[in-house]
Every structure is written in structure tokens, then in C-alpha cells.
Structure 1
Amino acid sequence: MFSGIIEAVGTVQAIETTAGGRRFWIQAPFVGELSVGASVAHNGACLSVIAIKHRFYCVEAVQETLSRTNLGALELGDPVNLERSLPVTARLEGHLVQGHVDTTLAILDIERVGGDSWYYTFELPPDWAHLVVEKGAIAIEGVSLTVAHLEEKAFRVAVIPWTYQHTRFPALRRGQRVNVEFDLVAKYFWRWYQLYGKVPADQRSS
């Protein structure tokens, strides 16, 4: 489990193609504190550390992960948002983030406001619209953000200067696809509604 508060921005140092997917060697400031098997979110996608060498560690993404996220588009030197899994006793600074990316969405617009703050506008396909509410939580590239404005086919988030400076947001461009994880509570509520919300009143338990 994660909180959507990015701990560091790592750098892709090497990429290896395997029979089952891809391996990424990442440089990060906390490599010395990692152990094999540790869970680290990469642009919001939870991956397990499989090897550590000097200042680098290696994670592997299978085809399912590559097809559902933008990790397959990573190139050498690209920045990566990193967050280690939360200890049970940690304060939840953002919101509950599983590290299970739901989909990728395209950036429609990037606007600088108030000097050092930014608005990022994303597409909102009908298949996902029911999971987004204004002022609700959403994870973009692993970053816990609040939906600032909601329209029928798009939504906007505000990125404050600190977040902009300490994540990979400066590297994002219009048209680029970003990893998105919708709010966990919204997903469970929608699943409950699918199963029980349409049951006739006379068949529901009191």
C-alpha cells in the first residue's frame, strides 16, 4: 500500500527485454535501504525489487503491467516517480493507493498559473467517468492529487510548486499518456452497486 506522496525521482539506467516483459535498472537515493523483494511504486505501478547492484536496483514488469501502464514507453535517462511501500505505523499523508494502475489517460492541456503552480487537464473516457468526482482523490503517475475541475469528457488537477519540483511532472507533455489509479473507495462502491444496487426493493434485506 502507498500514499501517493513521491519519495524520490529516480532515473532509468538500463532496460532489458525478457521473454515475459521488461526489466528496468533504476538509480535512486534510497537504494542502500532496499532489499530484494521490497515493493516500490514506479510512476504509480507497484513492482518488486529483484536485484541490487551498487547504486542501482532492478525491477521486472510483466506483459500485463506493460499493457496497462506507460512503463513500456520508458527510455534510458527518463525520470521515474518512486515511492516505497508504507509501514503500518506511517501517517497517511495522501490517500490510499494500491499501486495497481487502472489505465493510462492522455494529457489534453498543461497550463501554468500563479507563477509556479500548474493545471493539468486529462481526457476522461466514459468507461472511467463514474470513478471521478470533483474534489475527490486520484493518483496520477503515482502522485496523490485532487480533482479540481470535472467536465463530461475531461478533468483537471492542480499541481502545487513543491509537487511539480519533486516529481516527474516537468517532463510530461501534451498528448503523453500517464498512469492513473482511481480512488479505491470509489471502485469498491461501484462494484457493490453493480452487484446489489439494482436488486428489486422486495428482494433486498431490510
Structure 2
Amino acid sequence: MKFSSSGAYRTCSDAALLDALRTDEEGAFAEIYSRYSYPLFTLAYQKLSDREAAEELVQDLFTHVWSQRNSSQVQHLDRYLFSAMKYRIINYLKVRKVKAAYELYCRLSTAQVDVDTATEDGLALHDLSAALRASVQQLPAKSREIFQLSRLEHYTVPEISVRVNLSEKSVEYHLTKSLKLLRGYLREFLLVTLPLLAFLK
């Protein structure tokens, strides 16, 4: 996404930029991006400590701003952008947490744990493996299939849409539903996910 910036917009207020954006003025969008992209990136990077993820969240937010430019009802640009970024950060962290737990489940599902001679850590891993396996199996079949394609096989939403013969909106619905259900199923066990990941390294 590239837009040529125009000096004519540099002294405009946020309200004026929003008005211009609603009439497809690329220069206004470029100025908004120039004005807010770095502060938003800084916020995301401080929370995630991941430059690539922070950059992706910024790009996702501005892609959304541009795509919704004609129907936007935003009144306070700075308030909207920072609120939207905080929401994306929270959602990213939730997704990352569930993904880490599910990947741990996959690792544990192939591990051989001798319960008779297991240490306390081994027993904890065995219990968590069982809980994670049960949680994933509780997902509806279609949601489970789409979740695995997205989080484990790393297919994009458009690619999944073709594979399962559903619209992209339906795929996104199943992913959102899966994450919500897994957060509920794994609420207690996610508290020990990070220590266990460190233990396995």
C-alpha cells in the first residue's frame, strides 16, 4: 500500500484529514499514515517486543482505515487509532497464547511419559496434554479443521476458503469461534503454558 504524500495536508487538522479521506484523497491518507504510523508501531512494539508483529498490526490497521474510508464515522482520529491498535494487540496476544498452548499439545501428544517413574514435572505435562487434547476435540468438526489449517499448517484465510469450500467470512467466523471456545476450555491450563514451554526447550 503506497500513497504519495502531499505537503498540502501537513498543516491540516485530523478532522480535515478525515473529511478528505472520505472523498478518496490519497494525500490525506498518506498524511494520516505519516502522522500516526510510528507512534502506533511504538505502542505495539512496547507491548509485543516483536518488530515484525508490530509492523503487521500497523499495516493491518491502516489497511482497514483505507478500506472503510467512505463509510467511516470516526470523529476523533487519534483516539480511534490508538483504541483500535490496543484492541489488535490484545487480540494478537490472545491468539498467540492459544496457539502456543495448542502447539504444546501437539508436542506432548507424541511424547512418551512413563507415569510410573515420572517426575512431578512429567506428571504435569501428562495432565496438560490430556486437557489440551480434550479441549481441541470439543471443537465442532468444521471449526477444528479450519483451526488446524490456520494455526498449525499456516494456510491463509483465502487458501482455507478454497480448501473447505466456504466463504472467507465463514472461515473467519470459524477461527473466531475456535479461539473463543479454546480460551474457555483452556482457561486454567494456559496459566502454566509459558513455564512448560521454557521447561521443554
Instruction: Output the TM-score relative to the length of structure 1.
Output: 0.24
**Larger Rg computed on CA atoms:** 2
